[in-house]
Amino acid sequence: MRKTHEKLINENSTRLDGRKSNQLRPIKIEVGTLSNADGSAYIEQGKNKILAAVYGPKELHPKHRALPDRALLICRYHMAPFSVQERKSPAPSRREIEISKVIREALEPSVFVEYYPRTSIDIFIEVLQADGGTRCSGITVASLALADAGIPMHDLVSACAAGKVDGQLVLDLNDIEDKEGEADLPLALMPNLNAITLIQMDGDLSINEFEQTLNLAKEGCKQIHALQKDALKAKYAAVKEVVEEK
Amino acid sequence: MRENDRKSGQFVVPGERLGVIEEFIPGTGTYTKDGVIHSQITGRTLLDMLNKKVSIYPLIHGVSVPKIGSIVAGQVSNVQSKSATLRISQIGNKFLSGNFTGILHISDASLDYVDIMYDVCKPGDIMRAKVISTMNRTHHLSTSERNLGVICSFCSHCGHMLTLQERGLRCPKCGKIEKRKFASDYGKG
């Protein structure tokens, strides 16, 4: 099975894409990209390109699925056929259905679902280009789309992975590091409340390593949270100034 | 937020810490958790130092669901002798991405007595109504005000749009005169 690359981290402790072990990929976030959705956002995290759209709250069909005391969050994570090296079938795969579920459960604690009983809030996450860590980028961008839709939230959700590659603990794994590395730990965090909404792990870590990786991922989430805030500010603080000038 | 840079007009995103309940009364757009006041929405802070109240002025006017008293508009989807259903697509000034369903009962349809619902509206008409109750998981509507009722309707004979004339609604194509409970600004919107 191993190994297409001799080393994922070279002797200067630099990773294949030139990052240090505790460095995120370059991130670009835009809020309100789509005009037809109630809320939308777009993220570029390294080679990841992900678009998210939010509709609602709106009446749910079929009506029997509606919850009497809160809104139903419906989440669709989907990878475009051209998002990976080999064409991916556009039909939702087992993996995408599972990721849709975990993203929904990662976002649900952040939304005031009890404000909108018997409605649905639809979240669409479209991966245009994938390079590892798309579920984390997807959560980050979907949370911004929810904020852009004006839906009341407890906190923004920021997500980031950390893991172990070539015996070293690293932040924000890309595709090769995820596949060839020893462990991967995606984490979603509500930074202001210090509450974890998603934690998954594959691979092996000792208890000590796990704690270090968790802290590393938490730091990454906090950095991403600052970028999320800037993205919202870039859109809405600017809008306010235009209004004031008139 | 640190103590010294607390002032009104600061940009906040959901979840941001605004203070503790010992210093402020939480106002609109905020929530409290474990004694700490957080922002709920994206907006700017409004600190009322006189009443010690913190609230958020929203910068995003996104969410709208029908509430009691809100003016809604939509298309009539079904009419029975005593009630009609409205597919609500606009609340206030905001167009929705989805639909809500509302029910208009004949007793709330008009200021005057109406015999049958077909004299109030017909399927396909565009109506403006007010939400009067959200009992039993349905939005109950009323059009018994001068500015409420049908704002656009179609001839039941030929399908052409009806125009308002002295005698009531008339089809300019086939001359049919129809009965509706139309709003005071019919055909202007």
- Which residues of A are less than 8 Å from B103 in CB distance? none
Q: What are phi and psi of A82, to 5 degrees?
A: -95, 10
Query: What pLDDT, in 10s, does the model give residues A91-112?
Result: 999 999 999 999 999 999 999 9
Which residue in the set A56, A57, A147 is minimally distant from B13, CB to CB? A147
Check whether residue B78 and residue B163 sit in a common domain. yes
Q: Is residue B83 domain-resident?
A: yes
* Residue A151 CB partners (closer than 8 Å, separation 6+): A39, A54, A56, A57, A111, A112, A121, B62, B63
Domain span including residue B85: 71-178
Check whether residue B76 and residue B53 sit in a common domain. no
Q: Is residue B187 domain-resident?
A: no
Interface of A with B (CB under 8 A): 36-39, 55-59, 68, 110, 112, 116, 118-120, 147-156, 190-193, 228-229, 232-233, 236-237, 239-240
Check whether residue B54 and residue B76 sit in a common domain. no
Query: What pLDDT, in 10s, does the model give residues B3-31?
Result: 545 677 889 999 999 999 998 999 999 99
CATH number at residue B38: 2.40.50.100
With beta carbons less than 8 A apart as the criterion, state whether A186 and A133 touch. Answer: yes
Average model confidence (pLDDT) across chain B: 90
Which residue in the set A55, A58, A236 is minimally distant from B60, CB to CB? A236
Angstrom distance (rounded) from CA B141 to CA A185: 51
A239 confidence band (pLDDT: 50, 70, 90)? low
Angstrom distance (rounded) from CA A189 to CA A155: 9
CATH number at residue B76: 2.40.50.140
CB contact under 8 A, A56 and B42: no
Angstrom distance (rounded) from CA A108 to CA B130: 32
Q: Is the pLDDT of residue A245 over 60?
A: no
With 0-12 / 13-18 / 19 or more C-beta atoms within 10 angstroms meaning exposed / middle / buried, residue B51 is exposed
At residue B189, the pLDDT reads 62
Check whether residue B80 and residue B169 sit in a common domain. yes
Q: Is the pLDDT of residue A1 over 60?
A: no
Check whether residue B140 and residue B96 sit in a common domain. yes
Check whether residue B109 and residue B133 sit in a common domain. yes
Q: What are phi and psi of A35, to 5 degrees?
A: -90, -25
Q: Is the pLDDT of residue A12 over 90?
A: no
Q: Is residue B99 domain-resident?
A: yes
Which residue in the set B14, B58, B60 is minimally distant from A155, CB to CB? B14
The residue out of B58, B87, B102 marking a domain boundary is: B58
B89 confidence band (pLDDT: 50, 70, 90)? very high
Task: Provide the 8-state DSSP code for A109.
Answer: G
DSSP state string for A197-234:
EEE--EE---HHHHHHHHHHHHHHHHHHHHHHHHHHHH
Check whether residue B92 and residue B158 sit in a common domain. yes
- Which residues of A are less than 8 Å from B101 in CB distance? 59
Query: Domains plus CATH for chain A?
Result: 27-245 (3.30.230.70)
Q: Is residue B149 domain-resident?
A: yes
Interface of B with A (CB under 8 A): 11, 13-17, 29, 31, 33, 38, 40-44, 58-63, 65, 96-101, 137
Check whether residue B17 and residue B54 sit in a common domain. yes
Q: Mean pLDDT over residues A177-202, rounded?
A: 94
Angstrom distance (rounded) from CA A211 to CA A213: 5
Which residue in the set A68, A149, A239 is minimally distant from B63, CB to CB? A149
CB-CB neighbours of A49 under 10 Å? 20
Angstrom distance (rounded) from CA A185 to CA A162: 5
Angstrom distance (rounded) from CA B37 to CA B16: 8
With beta carbons less than 8 A apart as the criterion, state whether B169 and B162 touch. Answer: yes
- Which residues of A are less than 8 Å from B59 in CB distance? 236-237, 239-240
The residue out of B20, B35, B58 marking a domain boundary is: B58
Three-state DSSP class for residue A110: helix
Q: Is the pLDDT of residue A236 over 90?
A: no
H/E segment holding residue A149: none
Q: Is residue B64 domain-resident?
A: no
Check whether residue B105 and residue B169 sit in a common domain. yes
H/E segment holding residue A58: strand A48-59
Q: How many CB pairs under 8 A join A and B?
A: 96
Q: Is the pLDDT of residue A2 over 70?
A: no
Q: Is residue B152 domain-resident?
A: yes
Check whether residue B42 and residue B92 sit in a common domain. no
A194 confidence band (pLDDT: 50, 70, 90)? very high
Query: What pLDDT, in 10s, does the model give residues A143-178?
Result: 999 999 999 999 999 999 999 999 999 999 999 999
The C-alpha of B41 sits at a distance from chain A's nearest C-alpha, in angstroms, of 5
State how many domains chain B has.
Answer: 2
Check whether residue B136 and residue B99 sit in a common domain. yes
Q: Is residue B65 domain-resident?
A: no
Query: What pLDDT, in 10s, does the model give residues B140-188?
Result: 999 999 999 999 999 988 989 999 987 789 999 998 999 999 998 888 7
Check whether residue B41 and residue B114 sit in a common domain. no
